Amino acid sequence: MTRAAPAAVVAVEDLVVEFRASRSIAALLRGISARRLRAVDGVSFTIARHETLGLVGESGSGKTTLGRALLGLYRASEGRITFEGAPIRAQKTRELRALRQHMQMVFQDPYSSLNPRMTVGQTLGEVLRFHAVCAKSEVVAEVAKLLELVGLSADMAARYPSALSGGQRQRVGLARALAVRPNFLVLDEPVAALDVSIQAQILNLLQDLRDELGLTILFIAHELSVVRHMSTRLAVMYLGKIVEIGAADAIFSAPSHPYTQGLMKAVPRLIPERRHREAVLKGDVPSPLAVPSGCRFHPRCPMARDLCRAETPPVVALGDGHEAACHFAEEAARTWAATSGGATV
Amino acid sequence: MGTDAARTASRRAGSGEVVLEVSGLVTEFRLAHGTIRANADVFLRVRKGATLGVVGESGSGKSVLCRAILRLIPSPPGFVTAGRVLFEGRDLLTLSERQMRRVRGTQIKMVFQNPMTSLNPVWPIGDQITEGLRVHYGLGRAAARRQGIELLRQVGIPSPEARAREYPFQWSGGMLQRAVVAMAMAGEPKLLLADELTTALDVTIQDQILALLLEIQERTGMAMVLVSHDMAVVAETCDEVAVMYAGQIMETAPTKALFNDPKHPYTVGLMNSIPSVERRDDRLLPIPGQPPDLTRLNPGCPFAARCSHASPDCAETPVALREVGPAHHSACLYPERIGA
Amino acid sequence: MTALTARSISAAFAVRGEIGRWSVTMKVGVSIVGLIVLAGIFAPVVAPYNPYFQDYDQVLLPPSWDHLFGTDMVGRDLFSRVIYGIRIDLTVGFIITYVPMIYGVALGALAGYFGGTFDVVLMRVLDTAIAFPFLVLIIVIIAILGPGVHNIYIAVFLVAWTMYARLARAEMLVERNKDYMLAARTLGYPTSRIIFRHALPNIINSSIVFSMADFVLNVLLLSGLSFLGLGVQPPEPEWGAMVAEGRDFIFDAWWICTLPGLAIVLTGTGLSLIGDGLSQRLGQRHQTIL
Ligand SMILES: Nc1ncnc2c1ncn2[C@@H]1O[C@H](COP(=O)(O)OP(=O)(O)OP(=O)(O)O)[C@@H](O)[C@H]1O
Ligand SMILES: Nc1ncnc2c1ncn2[C@@H]1O[C@H](COP(=O)(O)OP(=O)(O)OP(=O)(O)O)[C@@H](O)[C@H]1O
Ligand code: SF4
Ligand code: SF4
Ligand SMILES: [Mg+2]
Ligand SMILES: [Mg+2]
């Protein structure tokens, strides 16, 4: 088969990522296997070229784990990930090293994502030298160019991270990821730690770079407004599974999974009026070590029925690639349209 | 219902009994490379049953302010060098450490951003919640235990009798945050300082915690200071808002006035930076430039270098809060330029 | 490896503009130890006599301008012996402190980074080693191997790395999960580079601070063992051995055991002061990073 470059930059099929609880020496000697926590539990999706897929979900739902697995930082227990048609296997270090020039990550916490003992220039220079991005003699000039690309002045190169603000650090993290000229980026909550005005600067910068460099992006966040601003498509995770996926506009206008609807309703509005309503969703996110039977959202779902407790819901196609994993997805969508629908969102 | 509405109305008019009044507060950190004025001449007022939102740039001194009120600034390098913190008529800055401990234990509580760091990992949660009751109110073990379980029930923990015996690692982040709130509620404080209480939480849990706090406030008439950088959270929950920048209060107003008719260029900049969930904007409008170096502030308006309305004299003329409307104060020299 | 460690250490000290930020403690400590080290290096110039030369006309002389510390029972100049003793005590002390530190830190860092079976086994070894008092273990090993400096090296090398491994492992467990370490992996750097170039400078502080206290204990250990006859053998001018030799004359010639003893105390004090200064300095930097 002779195919041009596949349309999907990243394809994930039935991905499972597990963590093992640490074992004692006695357990090790007796060969007792540790308890397993499924942080990502059977997830499939693709990301098309030049697309930005937003990924939202509760804390602990497995977003970071998924993003890191895509880069081969965690090993897939089951399922497969391909990048530009090539499989990503965490255990194949050499294979990965070549691929990593094309895929990079920006981390959530600007305070721990830079080595405190290296200046900005050293951090960026190391990447350039190690991957032989440019001639040795041009490293200094290239560092200056990178800094400029992310809107920092070249004299920042001499600074240690401790002398930078959170927003500046996040820019350096972005420059480090861009240094190898990747075409796929995983952005793990890149603005969560920043205040709104710096956040707006970084989001604009990301948009510019995306258009300029033709990047494909997985954008992880828990703030819906930020995701809406950045993404073309959207995936919603709950407890290790994707519960809804589709075009961002479609999901924001017609969320069809009760959890997504809960998320939308729970977002605080910029309306200066003291709220007089109860919490949208009751109860806590269950532990991934004790996943509820049937639909894993049922203990908190306002629409839950007996079927939900007994059977895992199928993935319901709602047209145009919009899918929701709920027994009553269509009904949920109708209810949304009829009631809150256009009014609050 | 009627009294509720009346109370809300009086709160909106800004006429409730003042619980906390901070004036002229200056907090400095004396470091090797210079002195940081983390709070410079801060003024604020919180009324009974009302919530004051504090918003502003990261590093603008919001956390330092909360700590200064409770006299929890690490010293050295930090020093409160001027000002008064009047709590129910008493200046907290003049109290002895012993009296202050009592205030912290019984009347003003503070909750921090990360619940994991405010709970001791090797103590049962129930005991941690009731420790304050036993120390400050001399409650016996059994009485304290009953109280602790009751508090956990109030913050919505299911089967609190059993769960009070569990350890922090057995609880989820949202539950721990509620435990922290329960701990703060023990003894019904008159004032709660909540520093980025919900920042680390996701929206549905944030929603639960905010609903819980508002419900407690309605019931007990507790006053709150809510520090956040989520403007929407502030819009939904606060009666008044103070906007901080570079250690100073730039603007303070009833929430509605602040959002509908801001009178300071920095507040306007903040509002413009926020992406909306309702629609998709092509471009956000961030405030240009970087926050100032707190060791090298010019004598005038700290926002001058980034302000689109600035005149040459802004950087030189010291600014102070001035009344620009009912209960509405701005530290801008030219508030009339906004919107013009 | 040694070069890497050296680089990490120098990075930890970040020499530029460093001295200005030292505390008084640190400055005093560095001055004391610096003077002692200099005296040791230039011993042939500083010491007025040959430390081995026995002058039976000059036996058991009290301190005077000719013999600053007096002479011992065979007429050797004590001051010269104490000065030459610096070479032995500081060199051996340095070796038995920093050689185990190098591989202890490396092993701990590897265990902390990789975890798994290697880590479990290493932890068990550490727990076992720490269950015995350090000194008892050393003495037992030397009793088996026989006295002498070489066997001290072997005994200490066997045991002393465990503390460093423990410290480095604990720090690595925290450091491993920091995002910059993941970023280094994402950038495809080899694991050895990630561990030794990126993580090591960030986890070595506690080991450096601990090594100062360890250095003091090791100088005491060497002189203690020599005092017991298990270490450096006469006629070498080792401080502990000198104290032991003077023991029989304590009433007639107090200076023979007292003055070498003072040298031990002074060295120990200097090193401890540096240790205090370092823990303040490095601890402080830790805070500003956080
Ligand atoms: N290294 C690890 N070892 C064991 N468990 C882990 C590890 N990393 C994550 N987990 C667990 O896997 C689950 C998913 O975690 P993950 O960090 O992917 O969530 P997340 O969606 O990114 O959450 P957040 O919004 O808080 O960042 C959680 O229950 C978490 O406790
Ligand atoms: N212990 C301290 N030592 C030295 N400087 C400090 C200390 N605590 C705070 N500062 C400084 O005081 C200033 C205000 O800090 P503060 O933590 O109050 O900011 P903030 O408004 O709470 O920011 P954020 O939104 O990021 O939490 C900062 O410049 C900070 O570096
Ligand atoms: S399957 Fe049932 S419980 Fe699950 S989301 Fe749909 S309605 Fe709710
Ligand atoms: S005082 Fe001047 S610089 Fe400051 S906010 Fe007002 S107009 Fe801008
Ligand atoms: Mg995450
Ligand atoms: Mg803060």
- B301 domain-assigned: no
User: Is there a contact between C155 and C145 (Cβ–Cβ < 8 Å)?
Assistant: yes
Q: What percent of chain C is modeled with pLDDT above 70?
A: 90
The reply to whether B201 touches chain A by the CB within 8 Å rule is yes
For residue A218, pLDDT beyond 90? yes
Domain that holds residue B18: 1-97+190-293
Mean pLDDT in residue range A7-12: 88
- Angle between helix B203-220 and A258-266 (nearest 10): 50
Strand duo B18-31 + A241-247: pairing = unpaired
Model confidence pLDDT, tens digit, residues B97-140: 888 888 887 888 888 766 666 777 667 888 888 877 777 777 78
In order, the DSSP letters of A264-328 are HHHSPPS--S------SS-S-PPPTTSPPSSSTTTTT-TT--HHHHHSPPPEEE-STT-EEE-TT
Q: How many domains does chain B have?
A: 2
For residue C284, pLDDT beyond 90? no
3-state SS class at B270: helix
- B252 domain-assigned: yes
Location of structure tokens 């620009």 = B324
- The structure tokens listed for B190 are 């008159």
Residues B145 and B246 in one domain: no
Instruction: Provide the pLDDT for residue A295.
Output: 92
- The structure tokens listed for C263 are 């040298």
Residues B229 and B267 in one domain: yes
Q: Ligand 2 pocket test: which of B36, B65, B66, B290 has the largest number of ligand atoms within 8 Å of its C-beta?
A: B36
Ligand 4 contact, B112 CB (< 6 A): no
Q: What is the mean pLDDT of chain A?
A: 85
Residues B92 and B196 in one domain: yes
Lateral strand order in the sheet of B18-31: B34-47, B18-31, B78-87, B90-91
Class level of CATH domain A8-21+36-102+182-340: alpha beta
Q: Which CATH number fits domain C36-286: 1.20.1260.10, 1.10.3720.10, 3.30.390.10, 3.80.10.10?
A: 1.10.3720.10
Q: What percent of chain A is modeled with pLDDT above 90?
A: 34
User: Residue A48 pairs with which residues in a beta bridge?
Assistant: A8
Model confidence pLDDT, tens digit, residues A16-25: 998 875 555 5
ipTM of the complex: 0.77
Distance CA(C108)–CA(C196), nearest Å, equals 12
For residue C124, pLDDT beyond 70? yes
Within a 13 Å sphere around the CA of B134, how many CA atoms are in the beta-carbon half? 14
Residues 174-193 of A with CB under 8 A from C: 176-177, 180
- Burial class from Cβ neighbours inside 10 Å (0-12, 13-18, 19+) for residue C10 reads exposed
Instruction: Provide the pLDDT for residue A343.
Output: 46
Q: How far is the CA of B306 from the centre of ligand 4 (A)?
A: 9
Residue nearest to atom 1 of ligand 3 (CA): A326
CA distances from C216 to A179, A239, B161, C27, C271 (A): 47, 54, 54, 17, 6
User: Is there a contact between A132 and A101 (Cβ–Cβ < 8 Å)?
Assistant: no
Which residues of chain A neighbour B156 with C-beta distances below 8 Å? 282
Distance CA(A35)–CA(A27), nearest Å, equals 11
Q: How far is the CA of A318 from the centre of ligand 6 (A)?
A: 44
- The structure tokens listed for B105 are 């234990």
Model confidence pLDDT, tens digit, residues B67-107: 899 888 877 778 888 889 999 888 988 988 888 888 887 88
CA–CA min distance A227, chain B (Å)? 9
Distance CA(B90)–CA(B53), nearest Å, equals 23
Ligand 4 contact, B301 CB (< 6 A): yes
In this predicted model, which residue has the larger pLDDT, B164 or A243? A243
Location of structure tokens 């532990």 = A287
Based on its alpha-carbon atoms, the radius of gyration of chain A, rounded to whole angstroms, reads 22
**Global pTM?**
0.79
Instruction: Provide the pLDDT for residue A153.
Output: 83
User: Is there a contact between B57 and B291 (Cβ–Cβ < 8 Å)?
Assistant: yes
The reply to whether C180 touches chain A by the CB within 8 Å rule is yes
Ligand 4 contact, B245 CB (< 6 A): no
- The structure tokens listed for A164 are 């930078």
Q: pLDDT band at residue C213, thresholds of 50, 70 and 90? A: confident
Model confidence pLDDT, tens digit, residues A128-157: 998 888 888 889 999 999 998 888 888 888
Q: pLDDT band at residue C12, thresholds of 50, 70 and 90? A: low
Residues 103-132 of A with CB under 8 A from C: 104-105, 107-109, 112-118, 127, 130-131
Strand duo B191-195 + B108-111: pairing = parallel
Instruction: Provide the pLDDT for residue B38.
Output: 86
Residues 219-238 of A with CB under 8 A from B: 222-226, 228-229
Residues B72 and B204 in one domain: yes
Residue of A nearest to B230 (CA): A196
Instruction: Provide the pLDDT for residue A27.
Output: 54
Q: Number of H helices and number of E strands within chain B? A: 12, 12
**In sequence order, which ranges of B70-123 are alpha helices (DSSP H)?**
97-106, 115-118
Cβ separation C183–A173 shorter than 8 A: yes
Closest Cβ–Cβ partner in B202, B255, B284 for A200? B284
Tell me which residues have their CB closer than 6 angstroms to ligand 1.
A 19, 37, 39, 57, 59-65, 222, 288
Distance CA(B100)–CA(B6), nearest Å, equals 34
- B28-42, B185-199, B205-219, B247-261 — most confident range: B247-261
CA–CA min distance B111, chain A (Å)? 19
Residue nearest to atom 19 of ligand 2 (CA): B59
CA–CA min distance A91, chain B (Å)? 31
Among B132, B158, B188, identify where a domain stops.
B188
CATH number at residue B209: 3.40.50.300
Q: Where are the domains of chain A?
A: 8-21+36-102+182-340, 115-181
- B241 domain-assigned: yes
CB pairs under 8 A between A and C: 62
In order, the DSSP letters of B286-329 are PPPS-PPPTTS--SS-TTGGG-TT--GGGGTS----EEEETTEE
Choose the mutation target among A22, A117, A172 for the interface with C, i.e. most C CBs under 10 Å: A117
Q: C89 Cβ partners below 8 Å, 6+ apart?
A: C219, C222, C223, C238, C239, C240, C264, C267
Q: Counting atoms of ligand 3 from 1, which one is nearest the CA of A309? A: 3
The reply to whether C114 touches chain A by the CB within 8 Å rule is no
For residue B5, pLDDT beyond 60? no
Closest Cβ–Cβ partner in B202, B237, B285 for A275? B237
Location of structure tokens 């969560």 = A192
Residues B27 and B88 in one domain: yes
Residue type for A338, please? A
Among B147, B173, B188, identify where a domain stops.
B188
Q: What is the mean pLDDT of chain C?
A: 85
Model confidence pLDDT, tens digit, residues C138-162: 888 998 998 888 999 999 999 999 9
